[in-house]
Amino acid sequence: MPSKDNKQNFASLRSEILAQSGKQYWRSVEEYVDAPEFAEFVKSEYPSQADQWDNSLSRRNFIKVMGASLALAGLSGCVIQPSEKIVPYVRQNEELLPGKPLFFATAMSLGGIANGLLAKSYDGRPIKIEGNPEHPGTLGSTDVWSQASILNMYDPDRSQEITFRGTPATWQTFMTQVRGAIEANRADGGAGVRFLTETITSPTLVAQFSQIARELPNSKWVQYEPINNDNAMTGARLAFGTPVHTVYKFDLADKIVTLDKDLFSDFNVRYMKDFAKKRTFSQEKQEINRLYAVETTLTLTGAKADHRLAVKPSQVSEVAKALATALGVGGAAPVGLPAEATNWIAAMARDLQASRGRSIVVPGESQSPVVHALAHAINGALGNVGQTVIYTDPLSPASDRPQVEQLRELIADIDGGRVKMLVILGANPVYNTPVDLKLNPDRLNKVPLRVHLGQYIDETAEHCHWHVSEKHYLETWGDARAYDGTVSIVQPLIEPLYGSKSIHEVVQVFLRENFDKTDYDIIREFWQTQNLNASAPRPVAAATSGAANGNAAQNATGGRTPGNAAVNSQNAAGQFAPAPSGNQPGPTNQSPQPSAATVNQTAQNAGAQGAPAPTQTGTATTNNAGGNFEDAWRRVVHDGFVPNSAAAPRTVAVNPAFLSQPDVKPANTGELEISIRKDPSVYDGRFANNGWLQELPKPLTKTTWENVAFVSPRTAERLGLNQNKEENNYVGGEEGTSFVNTKGGNLFSDLVRLDYQGTEIQKDVPIWIAPGQPDDVVTIFMGYGRTRAGRVGTGLGYNVFDVRRSDAMNYGTGKIAKTGAQTTIASTQTHFNMEERDIIRVADIEVFKQHPEKWQQPEHYDESMYPRFEYNGNKWGMTIDMNNCVGCNACVIACQSENNIPVVGKEQIERSREMHWLRIDAYFTGDDVNNPKGPHFQPMLCQHCEQAPCEPVCPVHATVHSAEGLNDMVYNRCVGTRYCSNNCPYKVRRFNFLLYQDWDTPQYKLMRNPEVTVRSRGVMEKCTFCTQRIAAARIEAEKDGRDVRDGEILTACQAACPTDVFSFGDLNDPNSVVAKQKKDPRNYILLNELNTQPRTTYLATLKNQNQEMPDYKALQIPKNHAPETADEGKGEPTESGH
Amino acid sequence: MVSVVVLAGVAGYVYTQVARSSYMTGAFIEKQQPVQFSHKHHTGDDGIDCRYCHSTVETTATAGMPPTQTCMNCHNQLWADSPYLEPIRASFRENKPIQWERVHDLPEYAYFNHSIHVSKGVGCASCHGDVANMPAVYQANTLQMEWCLSCHRDPAPNIRPKSEIYNTSWDPSQITPDQRREVDEKITHLRSSSILTSCSTCHR
């Protein structure tokens, strides 16, 4: 059969089913199986169905039939292409060259913290997110959520219009109605008006709310989101009597202690970057920092830590007390800590004493206020304050009251019938409020008028009268504060795809005057009243801020790689210069339908509109003394942040009175402690409809598409959970091996009923055995159990907000009961397993320094039968420094975004058919399953072997070598034999078993990277080293008549990585970073004995253990890593020869 | 048996000829455009440089199609009332782009970049033919991969002096000694044919 027919069948079948059920997207592949006609189709679809071979069709007949269809296929390959149109602009923008990407500075906010980004735009369509190298919050790197946010913008499930009781309405009607209601409320000063938002740090929005507070003095503004700073702020009040925001300087810290804080799965890219700066090991910098992690579940920080102490959630405060006592802070003596833990803490305290002023103790958000207060006191006692720990004003207003208390008051007001109008802006309280303060439909119905602004018709929108579709941050003007208070400007990249409005525009409607303003005017006019050239520190509360702590100046030069100012551009200068605002897609009231013409139309609108004229120029000049506002504003928009606007440091003194206060702990309702965490992929559930994030293997478990509950191996055994397994299936003894259980156990999970503080989670909870989890502690994850997330995220997983309580927000007690049922978990941990070979290399830094030669590998190059190919031009290669890798997954999503990688759905993942070109393998080591080392993370992608095993087995030359050493994949030649994948020892090839790409949804057409082929069904694909970026850089260099500069090419994973794990460059250039790293003694080749000569090599992980710690156990270089030809007594032959 | 082989051979030959024919490749077929634009008149007779309209040919992957604005630069004065130009004026008036028929259509998986070819000394005519003498543009070559490769294997014959890149009527036999030296210099800076014929040079 010619493949075209099948493709059409598939497409038509899909659209048919979609039309029937209204379901769509990749997860539906799983649902498709339910449809009888689809089951039939799918059955014959899978190539592995050898039993489908029809016996009546003999082999000879088959050849005949195939011969005929092959000939047809051959002819059909030469069909005349359908005629295409060229649609140029009517009036072209000067800077907008077709096919040339532009980068615009913008910022994404999460939890009130903004990360400065550069969005890459092709012909007016943003297609990729990179970090803004000059922004203090990112320094050019990104995280998973920023990377995946592009998919959110193009999500076809987004709410697309303004609705009143579910029927479409216009913005004019909305304004008229809502303003009428406001006027009715003016008489009593808006006593019945409530605004509910998430954490807000936007100076403009704060100013707008201040205006509302002046006009409606009795109205109230409530901030609530499930992941918040309540504990930190309450802790600061305990310690200092006033709420302060803490900024840590990990780039100055030699010793770091985390108290249940996961540094590496937060939105804060800068902290990861700073940590990596201190963690990097090179021949020039032989000292690395030391990380102690005290934690209540397995986290990325614990995985990276040199010493890890797993304790129950209730014991973290005892650990903090013990540490405080050991450091002479005073306070109550810890109770209930085991002796090992006490020794551990004492040894750690001695180590911290040795690094006074160069250490940090970081408490986690989920820890009780007293832990935060103790951490402040400890940092003070260690002399860290002012050095590595800086205090500033809180970034968000109303930080003096916990968000939960604000919510409690709102709920009380609603219950008391005092709320006449509730305006919910961007939040989803119906889903994510605590169960005892649930803003459920019953409560909502007591409010006569409910307005909701959001990107989705979600659980909350469903129960509101008015719903206004919210602009994505790539469509809106706005501002927000970075982790250190630096004001970041949010700049739109594209006309809103739908008739959406920004939060600024909606809030403006509630003002007495100038209520109908565009977000551009609102933002610009606010900044006209502020000093954009701030040079002196200003308090945050004044909404302007500005601090001269040297941050910005220092950061401006903080590029990723040496000699690489233009971090994200493959091309030379010019890309970084976004046009003046007249050339940027600006705000207009038109909303073009997503269609092929959108691109042009958007550009035209932007061009025709030009820079909106300022309406309040009068105030500008006075406040921008000595500078022209327009110049300053353009520079700020261009740079993406206001210079020197970081919050000013504050001096606060610890009041030790809190030390005598008792620690409040949740009521005891069961034998297990249960802690609640945010999900590493979907956060608090807001990213539930993002297929990239759903399919992203969670860093520690590699589970996808749902949440599980962690228990320790010992607890699982005691409770009889997931017990149909053998221990040696999931722990590899001294050999590093992937922590898997392929025979039941983890992949088939027992379902349990989980009771938390007396309430049961409605859905059954699958259990996952997590090595390193403290005993008798269950960890459950937020973000799932959504009922109105969209076609991707609805109905996945269990909902933690069924049981989360305002008096036990982060941990509590409870019990679990086996239901007897099991479920399958789509985990990629078992996939593409390389078994017990010399794969992961970890050693203590001291051990390594003594014998760096022990890691030398034998050279097999000359053992080939063929003569060497001489690579005379560029010789591309990559190194992956695992010592820096924290497993945050940003590279995986960056790769997916850059290379148009599809989402396949849970059912296909269970069949090991995920398409990620780059995966991060997690390897546990150690012989104690309850307290393992690691996991150690290893990004795994095509190794671009010089003697690639995949190449000789391809019958159609679809994978061949380029003259620069890339292992090229030619999609058009591929016929899908999958021989290459079978022969790949690294298991990095991915096959399109089905038509995973969505070819039809118009939004996705806009999103794809035009420089990368969109693959179809039946084609093999894999990492290309971002060959499109290489080509772009090569062409620019050739045009300039020079060589490609080192650092000019950044692969997508490299550009995204917050910890500088990847290096890419020319191996023929001895001065390139990658060539130097290849000479590092830590450098090693994976599966060297196969003599594949990979261009990608790895740098081993080093641990900086403290020899005085009771759990110190030197990590030796294993014998099978030693060179074959080493000196006597030093090495022994490798385990596996060649 | 012999006849089968002969028949197969003939069939194979016919197949290759059909595949290369202009019926399959679309070569030498003039396309009707929404505006009767003549390259022969504008470039050949009036001497307007290619880059006046195809302005990004030296900087980006695409040569660039002129916005309606470019047409109106002249035609708001010249032939401003001509009925032939009504589609242009309508486009400008109504802010609707003109939809031109694409003549040279490479497959989506081929990533051709104009700027590097021009920069290396490949003239417009090498691919597009003598456009300055085409009243209606047609595709002068097959645009098949074998045709691309014929040059990527040995680019030297197609390298021109800088001054003649946009001269589609240039006759290489009229090359001057100075130009010869310039071309020879350019040829030494070309990438090796093994790099130029690597798959990832054109396919991504």
Cβ proximity of A1138 and A1124 under 8 Å:
no
How many domains is chain B partitioned into structurally? 1
pLDDT band, residue A132 (cuts 50/70/90): very high
- Portion 136-175 of B in contact with A at CB < 8 A: none
What was the pLDDT predicted at A836? 54
At A93 the pLDDT is 81
Q: Which residues of B touch A1038 (CB under 8 A)?
A: 116, 119-120, 191
Read off φ and ψ for residue A487, nearest 5 degrees: -80, 125
Residues in CB range of A143: below 8 A, 6 or more apart: A115, A267, A269, A272, A888, A890, A1058
Query: Chain A, 780-799: which have a CB under 8 Å from a chain B CB?
Result: none
**Contact between chains at B200 and A966 (C-beta distance less than 8 A):** yes
Mean pLDDT for A604-632 is 47
What are A468's strand-pairing partners?
A: A453
Q: What is the pLDDT of residues A472-486, one digit of tens each?
A: 999 999 999 999 999
Q: Which residues of B11-36 are buried (b: 16+ CB within 10 A; e: fewer)?
A: eeeeeeeebbeeebbbbeeeeebeee
What is the reported pLDDT for A92?
Answer: 85
Give the separation between CA A1055 and CA A1062, rounded to whole angstroms: 9
In terms of residue numbers, what domain contains B125?
A: 58-64+106-204
Average pLDDT rounded to a whole number, residues A374-399: 90
Which has more pLDDT, A534 or A528? A528
* Low pLDDT (below 50) residues in chain B: none
Q: Is residue B183 part of a domain?
A: yes
Q: Which residues of A touch B66 (CB under 8 A)?
A: 88
B94: which 2 tokens? 């109504």
| Ranges assigned E (strand) in A588-742 | 649-650, 672-677, 709-711, 737-738
Sign of the C-alpha dihedral, residues A1076, A1082, A1087, A1088? Answer: positive
Which residues of B, range 18-37, sit inside 8 Å of A by Cβ?
A: 18-19, 23-26, 31
CA A598 and chain centroid, separation: 29
Residue A547 DSSP label: B
Nearest to A341 by CA among A1126, A1109, A970: A1109
pLDDT exceeds 70 at position A261: yes
Whole-number pLDDT of residue A75 = 46
- Strand order of the sheet with strand A737-738? A737-738, A919-925, A933-940
The stretch A250-273 carries a mean pLDDT of 92
Closest-CA residue of B relative to A1012 is B204
User: Is A100 at the interface with chain B, CB within 8 A?
Assistant: yes
Which of B199, B201, B202 is the best mutation test for A, with the most CBs of A within 10 A? B199
Residue whose tokens read 């030398």 = A856
> Which residues from A are below 8 Å from B23, CB to CB?
80
Instruction: Please report whether residue B75 resides in a domain.
Output: no
Nearest to A89 by CA among B71, B86, B106, B31: B71
Mean pLDDT check: name the lowest of A10-24, A562-576, B169-183: A562-576
Give phi and psi for A873, each to the nearest 5.
-85, -130
Q: Is the pLDDT of residue A1026 over 60?
A: yes
Bridge partners of A683, per DSSP, are A679
Question: Does B171 reside within a domain?
Answer: yes
Within a domain: B148:
yes
Q: Which of residues 1016-1055 of A touch B (CB under 8 A)?
A: 1024, 1027-1028, 1030-1031, 1035, 1038-1039, 1041
Of A74, A90, A1041, the CB nearest to B68: A90
Cβ contacts of A1041 on chain B, cutoff 8 Å:
189
Q: What is the pLDDT of residues A695-716, one digit of tens each?
A: 999 988 888 899 999 998 888 8
CB atoms within 10 A of CB A659: 20
What average pLDDT does range A283-297 have in this prediction?
91
DSSP string, A922-943: EEEESS-TTS-EEEEEEEE---
Q: Check if A59 contacts B (Cβ < 8 Å).
A: no
The answer to whether B100 contacts chain A (CB < 8 Å) is yes
User: Hey, which residues does A813 pair with through a beta bridge?
Assistant: A673
Which residue blocks in B98-156 are alpha helix, DSSP H? Answer: 114-120, 124-128, 145-153
CA distances from A326 to A332, A1106, A1123 (A): 12, 17, 45
B83 is a domain residue: no
Q: Which of A259-263, A838-842, A1089-1093 has the highest mean pLDDT?
A: A259-263
Write the burial class of residue A1126 (CB in 10 Å: 0-12 exposed, 13-18 middle, 19+ buried): middle
Establish if B36 belongs to a structural domain.
Answer: no
Q: What is the ipTM of this complex?
A: 0.92
Q: Can you give the pLDDT at residue A563?
A: 32
pLDDT for residue A867 = 80
Tell me the domains of chain A and their CATH numbers: 3-76 (no CATH), 106-227+399-639 (3.40.50.740), 245-392 (3.40.228.10), 672-824 (2.40.40.20), 842-881+941-1121 (3.30.70.20)
pLDDT at A572 over 50: no
Minimum distance, in Å, between the CA of residue B87 and any CA atom of chain A: 12
Residues in A closer than 8 angstroms to B191, CB to CB, are: 873, 1038
Q: How many residues does chain A have?
A: 1138
Of A85, A99, A1038, Cβ closest to residue B116:
A1038
| Backbone angle region of A1091, left / alpha / beta, with phi > 0 → left and psi within -120 to 50 → alpha | left
**B 36-95 residues inside an 8 A Cβ radius of A:** 56, 59-62, 64-69, 91-92, 95
Measured CA to CA, the distance from residue A801 to residue B52 in angstroms comes to: 63
Q: What is the mean pLDDT of chain A?
A: 80
pLDDT of residue A501: 93
The CA distance from A766 to A748, in Å, is 9
